[in-house]
Amino acid sequence: MKVFISGFGTVGQGTMETILVKSMDIQRITGDQVQIVGVTDSKSYAVKADGVCSFSVLGSKNMSGKVGPDMKDGKSTVDIMKMVEFDTLIEASPTDVETGGEGLKNIRWALENGKNVITVNKGPLALEFRELMDLAKKNGCMIRFEGSVGGAMPIINLCNDALAGQKIKSIQGIFNGTCNFILSRMDGGLPFDQALKEAQQLGYAETDPTNDIEGYDSASKVVILANSVFGMDAKFKDVNVTGITAITSEAIALARENGMVIRLIGEVSKGKLEVSPRLIPKGHPLSISGSLNTALINTDLAGPITVSGRGAGRKETASAILSDLVAIMLAQKN
């Protein structure tokens, strides 16, 4: 299995490390080896048809801030992908929910050319889900995206495999660890601005936190769940979104007096695609504190299933990519 990695930030680097560290395990489970034959970031690239150069590629990123000795100089990632034979694209470039960005172009090209795709880039999935699934089907390749929702928390493959045959009636969840961290700190008495500043200092929130605190990141995940688990044809604009910026210390205190907390909940159910702050009773599965993600899945047979895990992080997101990679390798073995 020859792999091309697009995007070499935290997730791309973590994925490469994970593939290298887990190479023996992958071979034991799938009977096949993984070679990383190409990597790009926004500025530079490295390709090597026989893979395994990966260690030095990784090293050069650490030394010079670029993935390889070769600068893109106007070439796109698609141009680079054309330079090398590979089987599976791992798309980990930055999410752009306005246009889908280069990630959407990369995924389209890969599927059109019969390559499997594993993406944690939410933009293309939130914008053009149905088109991408149809493209994969038409070209006989697979597209998987466990890491796009909930990071290390298993949710998409859990619903579609472990709960196969059941009707998923609704999913409600905490899909943004940054917001949950901020709200948890506000539970402890901090005002919003200070809680946000703390999240930024700890690296949970970005310098421009809009995407998280306005609920856009959670909304992308709601769209992906609606399409992949509920078979809807939803787009980002279909989600009713309210973020957490208007939540005051007074509101939090009032909730607390009534045995409740405020949490930013994403929900997919019949006729409802929503991200909004909600009052949750303490002790309820969705009342958790800290930066974990959690989801409450309501099914017709199993009843309620709750799952939680780390919603982001280098190794954590790589773990979701690894499970998708193993699933593709096992499917192609048959």
Residue numbers of the site for its own copies (CB under 8 A)? 18, 22, 25-26, 29, 146, 152-154, 157-158, 161-167, 285, 299-310, 313, 315-316, 318-320, 322-323, 325-327, 331, 334
Beta-ladder partners of 88: 3, 116
Instruction: Considering the complex, state which of residue 156 and residue 275 has its C-beta at the smaller distance from its own copies.
Output: 156
Q: Shortest Cβ distance from residue 190 to its own copies (Å)?
A: 19
Q: For residue 264, give the 3-state DSSP assignment.
A: strand
- Four-point Cα dihedral 100, 317, 321, 3, nearest 10: 70
H helix or E strand, kind and range, residue 265: strand 260-269
Cβ proximity to its own copies, 76 vs 289, nearer residue:
289
Q: Cβ 160 to its own copies, closest distance in Å?
A: 9
Residue 111 near residue 117 (C-beta atoms within 8 A):
yes
Q: Classify residue 290 by its DSSP letter.
A: S
Report, in Å, the least distance between residue 86 CB and its own copies: 20
Q: Which CB atom, from 5 or from 325, has the smaller least distance to its own copies? A: 325
CA distance 175 to 244: 13
What is d(CA 177, CA 243) in angstroms, rounded to the nearest whole number?
Answer: 13
Q: Are the C-beta atoms of residues 76 and 101 closer than 8 Å to each other?
A: no
Half-sphere exposure (CA, 13 Å, Cβ side) for 275?
28
CB of 302 to its own copies, least distance (A): 4
Q: Give the count of beta carbons closer than 10 Å to the beta carbon of residue 180.
A: 25
Q: Least CB distance from residue 106 to its own copies, whole Å?
A: 24
Determine the Cα–Cα distance for residues 265 and 170; give it in Å rounded to an integer: 13
Residue of 75, 105, 221, 282 marked catalytic? 221
Q: Which is nearer to its own copies, 201 or 334 (CB)?
A: 334
101 or 313: CB nearest its own copies = 313
Residue closer to its own copies, measured from CB, 184 or 218: 184
| Shortest distance in whole angstroms from residue 126 CB to its own copies | 22
How many Cβ atoms are within 10 Å of 82's Cβ, its own excluded?
11
Spatial contact of 296 and 211, defined as CB atoms under 8 Å apart: no
Annotation marks residue 235 as catalytic? no
As a whole number of angstroms, the distance between CA 106 and CA 88 comes to 12
Half-sphere exposure of 266 (CA within 13 A, CB side): 29
Q: Assign 71 to helix, strand or coil.
A: strand
Catalytic residues: 221
